[in-house]
Structure 1
Amino acid sequence: MKQQFSSKTLIALFCGVAATFSAVAQNSQSTVVVSGSRFEENLNEVPANVKVITRDEIANSTSNNIPEVLSQIGGVNVKNTSGNPLNLDASVDMGGYGATANSNTLILVDGQRLNPIDSGTINWESIPIDSIERIELLQGGASVQYGNGAVGGVINIITNGGAKNLNQASITYGSYNTVIGNAILRNRVNDTTIQLTANSSNTDGWRQNSAANAYSFDGKITQSLGGLDQAYIDLFFNHSNSQTPGSVLGQAGQGDSQGARAAFIGSSIATDNSGVRAGLIKEITNQLTFDIDGTYSNKNTNSNTPSYSSYLLYPNWQIAVSPKIKANFGEWGSTVIGYDFNQASQSSSYGSSFSNTSLQQNVAVMNQSMYLISRIPLRVINGLEASGGFRHQAQNASTNDFSTGSTISASQKYSANAGDVALNYNYQPGQNIFIKWDQSYRFPNTDEFWGWDQNANGGWGAPIFNGILKPQISQTYSLGGEWKIKHSRLSALLFQSITQSEIRYDPSSGSNINTAGNINRTGFLFDSSSNITKNLTLAGGGKIQRSTFATGSIAGVGVGLSPDLLLNARAQYMFNASWGTGAVLNYVSSQNYESDPTITNSLAKIPSYVAADFYVNYKIHSWETKFMIKNIGGNSYATTGGYNSTRGYYYYPTTPTTYFVNAKYNF
């Protein structure tokens, strides 16, 4: 595959940008985040690497959907298999977990989890992009705060709009007949804020059999109760329907990258998801604050593959409630105590058509956990704080398998503990360093109770029950800091994690297993931004990371789909109050195909790639227009792929150069 820039040139470019940023950095004592303790606190008080993406940054970018925001502004490794511009199936990897990235990165909406109970994709389309006020990206383990799955990182999408009225609508048209419509109506009447957001997205797709459409609606009412007290209720609904072109056989760049595999022509996946979120925050006294939130969702996924006469139904529901209380002891620190309850159920039915299916499996899961988080200022040195926390979570899982003609039933109770200890030193306003140890965990997804028997059904294959797996445990040691001086910011993090009993797919047995040996991840990341002049803003970041198996004959072998180097650079220039332009550049190094680790070192690698986007916008009165070019140069690279003994190499190509025009009206 053609690469437009050499690795040496790119590294020199990014290092030069970083050196510029490190020379200066902005006082931001007022930057507020909630991802550190689940209560609002100043960013400099959080002993963790947290990046905040604002609403304005999203607006001044080429992003049409949340995965693009995370890749272009957040610098997160994003993979997709769809072959269309909507990114409905995108997965994000914050910790170098490769094929299991979605299960090790926790996605939240206003602090409530969006991850499904199985290994399916995140319903990004359920969150209209115009409803987002900010996105918080917390790097590393956070199971003390959020429990299951907060291992590689946490992405908290905040839609709490606040009191400012905002009414706007936009339409985007682009390549492959892609049409995206967004609207937000937010108005405050006395102490009540009503926010309605909607999205409609359609595309023919670049690849054969890759058309997709998605619709979402969100209605939120927030009632101020005086002071910090408020309550909200949020109703949401979304529908998506995506054709699935399948992988391309061969190494990345080989074969007909635009064509669909014959077996997948006519295949599609449709999802309907609806539910309600609600919350209340109440200041009991000057020292005590009570917070409770909860959610209920009902999701139905249908998968249809006509060439196999295969129709799958996956209905599921989830309910969660999370009460918590924060005690503020003033100069003596603060403590948060909370309880999380989650219950979910899922079933799977299979047949030749919608009207001809039979129940194959069902699963029920209940999670309960208690946690405590404390922060204590140390009087010995001004600005030095100690913090720590603990969580205990128990999971009861039960399942029935009817696929073999006889019922196989199993039930299991497992528990896991999380903990963290940190020192955070604010030695100057807007500047802090921290050192931290944390232990986080992940319980298996419901579909990870089953593997895949390649030899069943005359070679067509079939799911096989492999048991209820125990949770994986990760311990991470990290050293980091953030520096803000004048008009610039720089953050950095050095980390090492060790994961025991990691849940992964074993190609040799066809089962999901707890790996026998440890998997180590070591790396360094940085992110920076600077207002060079009143018109020019530069930003950039990167991550150097090595994810390897640590024991036995595969010691030192790299984890599949985990690149060693990620680089991101962004620029924005305002010519005047009306005209502006910007660009983003992402570099992803070569990475191993997902494969049996015993043969990984003998295989080729997915090539490195560079993706560059550009936009120019114009504002006049209530109108805003924007022209965007994505993937300048047309390099159709691959973000994901694999190798197995049946198919050999396979990969999923991305969309080449695309063009979009956007018009937005504020009224």
Structure 2
Amino acid sequence: GFGGDNPHGKTLVMLDGRRLNRPDMASANWLQIPVSTIERIEVVRGGGSVLYGDGAVAGVINIITKAGSGGPKTEASIITGSYGLHDERIGISGSEGRLTYALNGENQKTFGYRDRSRFSSRGAGIDFDYDANDFWNVSLGLSYNETEFDFPGSLTKTQYEGNRRQSGNPDDAGFNDYLNANLAIESFIGEYGRLTVGFLYGNKDITADYASYPSYSVVDINTYGITPKYIFERDLLGRNNKLVCGLDYYYENLDKDGFNDRAKMSQKNNAQLSRESLGFYVRDELYLLDDLILALGYRNERAKIEGSESQVDGTVIFDEQKTHRGEALESALTWLVGEKSKVFVRYATVYRYPFLDEQASYYGYAWDSFLTDLEKEKGTTYEVGTTFYPLKDLKIGLTLFRIDMQDEIVPNAFWVNANLDETRHEGAEFDISYVLKDWARLYGNVTYHNAQFRNGTHAGNKVPLVPETTVNAGLAMYLPWHLELRPEMKYVGTSYQGGDNSNAAEKVERYTMFDILLFYRPEPRENFRFSAFIGVENLTDEKHALINYGGYYPLPGVTVKGGISIGF
């Protein structure tokens, strides 16, 4: 991970090519992704601003869902576990002529590890894909998700040592609704390539009741997008060549009503913010030789953020705007070695626009303002690495990286968002995967990440919330009777707590966690499939907490889960 105060803001999450990142500081809602319909997950490490624009600083996660095929197929599962967890899912998919379809639904609930960490989620989705003829097709996806949850909040050190499962907030809660629609039209124009146009809409209704502040609000966020993309694959000077170019237009508006009471009978303020962006990009991959690929890319984008806030009596707190200009470059060389190995070197520039609630504070407090001097984050990345197969079933990967960042955004000592001094992130990532014939698979990765301030008051100090070392490892053992035993471990090194730019406060301690899973997957019988699992997370009941600005956030203790899945 990238670390820092807003790591999720530096990784772009996409579902079938649709951005899930929100325009405010909250992370993407992973529960709007129907797990039962996932076909594969594509992870692109490193800067991706040329193709994807805002937010693709550390990498891109693109989740691809399954397309229906053949007659109707049904998948159903139930999971239960510690702390009152239960999770029920169902999916139906198939095809009829040129039409494919997939429907899904999910219900999840848990009381949570800590007091007042209750959580529930319900959602459903439907996807259609119609191949009209050999020249064009159209797809439509609709989804709805609602979540309800408590906010246990942080603990003081004394509270944490006394009872790590207690709640720091007595009566904070929230309720969210998500509605998404995604229409894509793809046209195949023979030797002239293919053109895809995506039309996106998303609505989020967010109710947040923070009795501890106090702050009560209702927020409505709408997102509109049009994303035409042209792909042209044709030999250039006798060499394979792939050209991708496109436009990304997004308009996001946020409307917030603040109240003095939970019943929302006494309004305090209203805030309206918007972000409109338009970007053009082009990227080309050319085979200079049969085993040497040159990639070059460029993006130019403009984003305007507007915001206003007024009290209920009409007093205007602010009415401002800020324009950001994003520009990204990419150049890379990839040398293909043998059937699957490769060596690569890559240079790219990246950027991230401020979230709406970073650019402005609009919660009805005395310090509310629009920060016209807050700049976008930007950086330069360098990578060199290899994916190497010394044996058919042994994969080894090694990447050396450096990311020089400017103007990273964090709260300052007065809790006002500000741009940091320049920082440098550098290190190495090592991963390995080894299949031992038909009885086991060994996998793991190690990351060394050194993040420091390069100038300013804290020059030479470590960037908070960035552990130097992380290790993940696992062993999948294929046992008789269709069983698979999978022990896993995770190690995270020490880091400085959030906000500790001077490196003077208590550190976030290192920790090691062990999980173990047992799967049962018998051979399918005719049209019937069955599988089951049971597992224990944090097997040794490791007591660990993240520390952010002096507040302790305990991670769950030992957790038991189990479930069954059927398909027909």
**Secondary structure at the counterpart of residue 447 of structure 1:** helix
Question: Aligned partners of 2:214, 2:291: CA distance in 1, in Å?
Answer: 65
1:300-337 Cα distance to aligned partner (Å, 9 max, x none): 11111235553111111001111111111232412111
Pair 1:573 & 2:477 matched: yes
Residue 228 of structure 2 corresponds to 323
Residue 92 of structure 2 corresponds to 185
Do 1:627 and 1:661's aligned partners in 2 also have CA atoms closer than 8 Å? yes
**Structure 1 unaligned regions, length at least 5:** 1-93, 644-648
Task: Decide whether aligned partners of structure 1 residues 650 and 307 sit closer, same or farther in structure 2, where only a CA change above 3 A counts.
Answer: closer
Question: Aligned partners of 2:352, 2:393: CA distance in 1, in Å?
Answer: 39
**Secondary structure at the counterpart of residue 521 of structure 2:** strand
Question: Aligned partners of 1:348, 1:641: CA distance in 2, in Å?
Answer: 30
Question: Aligned partners of 1:95, 1:252: CA distance in 2, in Å?
Answer: 30
Do 1:243 and 1:269's aligned partners in 2 also have CA atoms closer than 8 Å? yes
Matches within 5 A, 1:277-356: 277-330=182-235, 331-351=239-259, 352-353=261-262, 354-356=264-266
Q: 1:397 aligns with which of 280, 305, 318?
A: 305
Do 1:347 and 1:359's aligned partners in 2 also have CA atoms closer than 8 Å? no
**Secondary structure at the counterpart of residue 254 of structure 1:** helix
Pair 1:241 & 2:148 matched: yes
**Secondary structure at the counterpart of residue 130 of structure 1:** helix
- 1:642 deviates by 1.9
Task: Decide whether aligned partners of structure 1 residues 305 and 252 sit closer, same or farther in structure 2, where only a CA change above 3 A counts.
Answer: closer
**Secondary structure at the counterpart of residue 632 of structure 1:** coil
- 1:359 deviates by 3.6
Question: Aligned partners of 2:158, 2:182: CA distance in 1, in Å?
Answer: 44
Do 1:253 and 1:637's aligned partners in 2 also have CA atoms closer than 8 Å? no
Pair 1:128 & 2:30 matched: no
- 1:167 deviates by 2.0
Task: Decide whether aligned partners of structure 1 residues 192 and 468 sit closer, same or farther in structure 2, where only a CA change above 3 A counts.
Answer: farther
Aligned partner letter, 1:578: H
Do 1:112 and 1:294's aligned partners in 2 also have CA atoms closer than 8 Å? no
Aligned partner letter, 1:562: V
Task: Decide whether aligned partners of structure 1 residues 251 and 322 sit closer, same or farther in structure 2, where only a CA change above 3 A counts.
Answer: farther
What TM-score, normalized by structure 2, do the two folds share?
A: 0.93
Tell me which moved more, 183-192 or 211-220: 183-192
Aligned partner letter, 1:635: E
Do 1:589 and 1:608's aligned partners in 2 also have CA atoms closer than 8 Å? yes
Question: Aligned partners of 1:251, 1:124: CA distance in 2, in Å?
Answer: 33
Q: What is the aligned length?
A: 554
Residue 344 of structure 2 corresponds to 434
**Secondary structure at the counterpart of residue 561 of structure 1:** coil
Pair 1:418 & 2:324 matched: no
Do 2:271 and 2:362's aligned partners in 1 also have CA atoms closer than 8 Å? no
- 1:355 deviates by 3.4
Residue 430 of structure 2 corresponds to 526
Question: Aligned partners of 2:158, 2:403: CA distance in 1, in Å?
Answer: 31
Aligned partner letter, 2:310: F
Do 2:307 and 2:370's aligned partners in 1 also have CA atoms closer than 8 Å? no
Residue 266 of structure 1 corresponds to 171
Matches within 5 A, 1:162-561: 163=69, 166-225=73-132, 229-250=136-157, 254-261=161-168, 264-330=169-235, 331-351=239-259, 352-353=261-262, 354-379=264-289, 382-403=290-311, 405-451=315-361, 463-467=368-372, 469-484=374-389, 485-506=391-412, 508-515=413-420, 517-561=421-465
Residue 67 of structure 2 corresponds to 161
Question: Aligned partners of 2:88, 2:345: CA distance in 1, in Å?
Answer: 45
Residue 19 of structure 1 corresponds to none
- 1:155 deviates by 0.9
**Secondary structure at the counterpart of residue 6 of structure 2:** helix
Task: Decide whether aligned partners of structure 1 residues 162 and 383 sit closer, same or farther in structure 2, where only a CA change above 3 A counts.
Answer: farther
Aligned partner letter, 2:474: R
Aligned partner letter, 1:324: K
Task: Decide whether aligned partners of structure 1 residues 385 and 191 sit closer, same or farther in structure 2, where only a CA change above 3 A counts.
Answer: same
**Secondary structure at the counterpart of residue 316 of structure 2:** coil
Considering fraction of residues, name the structure with more strand: 2
What TM-score, normalized by structure 1, do the two folds share?
A: 0.80
Pair 1:650 & 2:547 matched: no
Residue 567 of structure 2 corresponds to 666
Aligned partner letter, 1:450: A
**Secondary structure at the counterpart of residue 31 of structure 2:** helix
Aligned partner letter, 2:76: A
- 1:602 deviates by 1.6
Question: Aligned partners of 1:198, 1:285: CA distance in 2, in Å?
Answer: 38
Question: Aligned partners of 2:331, 2:127: CA distance in 1, in Å?
Answer: 37
Aligned partner letter, 1:602: A
Do 1:95 and 1:153's aligned partners in 2 also have CA atoms closer than 8 Å? no
* Structure with larger RCO (C-alpha < 8 A, sep 6+): 1
Q: State, as a whole percentage, how many aligned pairs show the same letter.
A: 23
